[in-house]
């Protein structure tokens, strides 16, 4: 065995080589831009954070951002990097201006890594620093300096500009999705009142911080009472209860969005329950207090500790080195400020009480139905027949595999059979529906829980108590490319949007896109996802090429299917537009026929006819 472990097996990598060899250590999963936590958005964030820090220090009130499908440009109007240190700041690891400044104690990026990571993982990277009528420009490829421009005079304003294109060798078939970037940019605006960000020419600006954030994220008609806005030096909270299901959190640490929460979110949840119980002098169940809550929370922590380099979950226990705990700080803040607010606003306090009592009533009704359903399904082994699980869905020792875990929700034996044979058994699970699911629009959770199909789906996803214990990072709706498949897709979307909107908002729900056509001759096979690609394939392979229309997932052989759910998988994220009313959307598509929907059907009748023609 020792023959395989010699001195020659020990390899040393420089900073650039190590980042490119293990990019996941620095930016999380790579991805193609479909998911908001893909690496290209982390690269964008690393550059933006430096510009934001300049604004926090009091330098620059505007940041210009230009993003195309593949390229990012960020220009701030801060002090500009000292011109003699531009190279060091982007190409020497553990180099930066935050080590020697007490003003950056409550910043996120203190390790001098971020900009170097972007440089190393970019096919093209340019940085320009401007200070006191002088400017310096450097250009890199994959972290290697290619052009060192001489120092020049300029009349441009002080500041720093970064222009980069992620490396296509690392990020396969990537493109930036504007909605994902827009959410990031709005968060920067909400957390930095008075800062103007120009994103592709559009201005993003906030005057009231997290109050503006929650107003934008919610529909006013869906709220049980006006948003409560509380603020102190190192903490800001905006909260309300909605008429929707689930708990919805937007949490931040030192300006860093923490979608996976952490100690600050846990502290808030505990403090909220205690404060509400003390105010009303009643021992409410914690689930009833938190049910349907919508919260924006931001805190400032000295030297924050995150559970990964991507900083999506806070692990710090203390606010500062003196030992003040986050739990105690948040508890004391809410105990004083929320309690004061409820005493001064009795109408809001009464609306809060009524929302809690409504959740309590519903929870008790569902508990009885769930007990009966569990007994029924245990006897029928209904659940086991529907789920073909993967191996690593709960493997806490392998976070990478857990992040890749995926469940396909499909209908019919042929589709589930092809998926089962083609899947990666380590990370991909299959849940098979039996026919079209129930149209859950307008129904109560009590009725939906009594439905066998959805009750089993609850079990498979482990979301009966909310999405905190969701067993799969990706929940993928995989239906046939025909009218029936589209209807099943809408029914499943209705279920998730109505009863688990936080699963959608947190970026877990996707649609599987598979080829509509296969065009081939004896030399080559091309898979096409739309009519225009089919036309291009015919132009390339000749009019005599064989064309196959895949009407259902089961018509694609497992051998072919493997590439479409593994190396060439295409997932379209389900994105809820900021501030939209889920109730209005669901009513439009899944409620009773309205003149507006009838007009929509008439205007899109040509699409339906094309589908029928293709099937013929």
159 has which bridge partners? Answer: 130
Three-state DSSP state, 399: helix
Share of the chain above pLDDT 70, in %: 84
pLDDT digits (tens, 9 = 90+) for 496-516: 988 888 898 888 999 999 999
Res 613 pLDDT > 50 = no
pLDDT digits (tens, 9 = 90+) for 67-81: 988 999 999 999 999
Query: 443, 431, 499, 474: which is closest to 574 by C-alpha?
Result: 474
Q: How far apart are CA 27 and CA 40, in angstroms?
A: 8
Res 605 pLDDT > 90 = no
Q: How far apart are CA 463 and CA 454, in angstroms?
A: 11
Q: Give me the mean pLDDT over the 510-538 stretch.
A: 93
| Confidence category of residue 31, pLDDT binned at 50, 70, 90 | confident
Q: What residues contact 354, with CB distance under 8 A and at least 6 apart?
A: 224
| Confidence category of residue 608, pLDDT binned at 50, 70, 90 | very low
pLDDT digits (tens, 9 = 90+) for 211-238: 999 998 888 888 999 999 999 988 999 9
Length of the chain (residues): 616
Q: How far apart are CA 233 and CA 235, in angstroms?
A: 6
72 has which bridge partners? Answer: 67, 164
| Confidence category of residue 393, pLDDT binned at 50, 70, 90 | low
Q: What is the DSSP letter of 7?
A: G
Q: Give me the mean pLDDT over the 43-66 stretch.
A: 92
Q: How far apart are CA 183 and CA 352, in angstroms?
A: 29
> Beta strands 159-166 and 152-153: pairing type?
unpaired
| Structural domains present in the chain | 16-204 (3.30.565.10), 210-357 (3.30.230.10), 381-514+550-580 (3.40.50.670)
- Residue 13 has phi, psi (to 5 degrees) of -115, 140
**Residue tagged 């479909």 (tokens):** 34
Q: Give me the mean pLDDT over the 170-197 stretch.
A: 92
Radius of gyration of the chain (CA): 27
Q: Among 131-140, 342-351, 602-611, name the one with the lowest average pLDDT.
A: 602-611
pLDDT digits (tens, 9 = 90+) for 398-432: 555 677 899 999 988 888 888 999 999 999 999 99
Res 103 pLDDT > 50 = no
**Torsion sign, CA atoms 33, 38, 43, 47:** positive
Structure tokens at 81: 């990097």
| Confidence category of residue 322, pLDDT binned at 50, 70, 90 | low
pLDDT at site 509: 95
Structure tokens at 254: 């030192």
pLDDT digits (tens, 9 = 90+) for 457-496: 988 898 877 787 888 999 999 998 888 888 899 899 999 9
Res 109 pLDDT > 60 = no
Mean pLDDT score across all residues of the chain: 84
pLDDT at site 593: 66
Q: Is 131 exposed, middle or buried (0-12, 13-18, 19+ CB in 10 A)?
A: middle
Q: Are 517 and 549 in contact (CB under 8 A)?
A: yes
């Amino acid at each position: 065995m020792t023959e395989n472990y010699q001195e020659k097996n020990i390899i040393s990598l420089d900073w650039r080589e190590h980042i490119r060899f293990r990019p996941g250590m620095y930016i999380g999963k790579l991805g193609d831009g479909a998911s908001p936590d893909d690496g290209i958005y982390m690269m964008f964030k690393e550059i933006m954070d430096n510009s934001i820090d300049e604004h926090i220090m009091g330098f620059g009130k505007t940041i210009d951002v230009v993003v195309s499908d593949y390229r990012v440009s960020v220009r701030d109007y801060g002090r500009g990097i000292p011109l003699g240190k531009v190279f060091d700041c982007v190409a020497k690891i553990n180099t930066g201006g935050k080590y020697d400044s007490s003003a950056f104690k409550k910043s996120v990026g203190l390790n001098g890594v971020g900009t170097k990571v972007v440089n190393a993982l970019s096919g093209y990277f340019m940085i320009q620093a401007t200070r006191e009528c002088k400017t310096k420009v450097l250009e890199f490829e994959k972290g290697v300096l290619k052009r060192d421009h001489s120092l020049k005079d300029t009349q441009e304003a002080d500041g720093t500009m970064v222009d980069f294109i992620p490396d296509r060798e690392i990020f396969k078939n990537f493109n930036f999705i504007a909605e994902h970037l827009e959410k990031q940019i709005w968060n920067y605006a909400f957390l930095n009142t008075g800062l103007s960000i120009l994103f592709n020419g559009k201005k993003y600006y906030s005057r009231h911080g997290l109050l503006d954030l929650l107003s934008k994220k919610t529909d006013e008609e869906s709220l049980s009472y006006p948003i409560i806005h509380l603020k102190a030096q190192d903490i800001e909270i905006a909260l309300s209860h909605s008429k929707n299901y689930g708990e919805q959190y937007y949490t931040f640490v030192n300006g860093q969005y923490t979608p996976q929460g952490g100690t600050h979110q846990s502290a808030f949840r505990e403090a909220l329950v205690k404060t509400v119980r003390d105010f009303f002098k009643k021992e409410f169940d914690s689930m009833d207090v938190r049910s349907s809550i919508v919260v924006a929370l931001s805190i400032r922590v000295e030297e924050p500790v995150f559970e990964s380099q991507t900083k999506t979950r806070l692990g710090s226990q203390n606010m500062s080195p003196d030992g003040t705990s986050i739990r105690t700080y948040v508890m004391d803040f809410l105990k004083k400020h929320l309690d004061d607010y409820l005493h001064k606003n009795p109408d809001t306090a009464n609306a809060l009480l009524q929302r809690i009592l409504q959740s309590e009533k519903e929870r008790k009704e569902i508990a009885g139905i769930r007990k009966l359903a569990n007994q029924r399904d245990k006897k029928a082994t209904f659940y086991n027949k529907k789920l073909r699980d993967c191996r690593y869905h709960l493997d806490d020792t392998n976070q990478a595999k857990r992040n890749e875990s995926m469940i396909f929700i499909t209908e019919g034996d042929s589709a589930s059979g092809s998926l089962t044979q083609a899947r990666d058994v380590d990370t991909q699970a299959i849940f098979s529906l039996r026919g079209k699911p129930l149209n859950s629009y307008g129904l109560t959770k009590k009725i939906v829980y009594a439905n066998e199909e959805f009750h089993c789906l609850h079990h498979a996803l482990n979301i009966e108590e909310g999405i905190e214990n969701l067993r799969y990072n990706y929940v993928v709706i995989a239906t046939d490319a025909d009218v029936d498949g589209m209807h099943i897709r809408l029914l499943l979307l209705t279920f998730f949007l109505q009863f688990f909107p936080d699963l959608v908002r947190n970026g877990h729900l996707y649609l599987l896109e598979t080829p509509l056509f296969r065009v081939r001759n004896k030399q080559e096979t091309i898979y096409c996802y739309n009519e225009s690609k089919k036309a291009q394939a015919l132009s390339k392979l000749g009019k005599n090429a064989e064309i196959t229309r895949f009407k259902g997932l089961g018509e694609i052989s497992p051998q072919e299917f493997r590439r479409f759910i593994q190396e060439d998988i295409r997932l379209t994220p389900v994105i809820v537009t900021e501030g939209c009313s889920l109730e209005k959307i669901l009513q439009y598509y899944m409620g009773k026929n309205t003149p507006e929907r009838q007009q929509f059907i008439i205007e899109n009748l040509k699409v339906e006819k094309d589908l029928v023609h293709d099937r013929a």
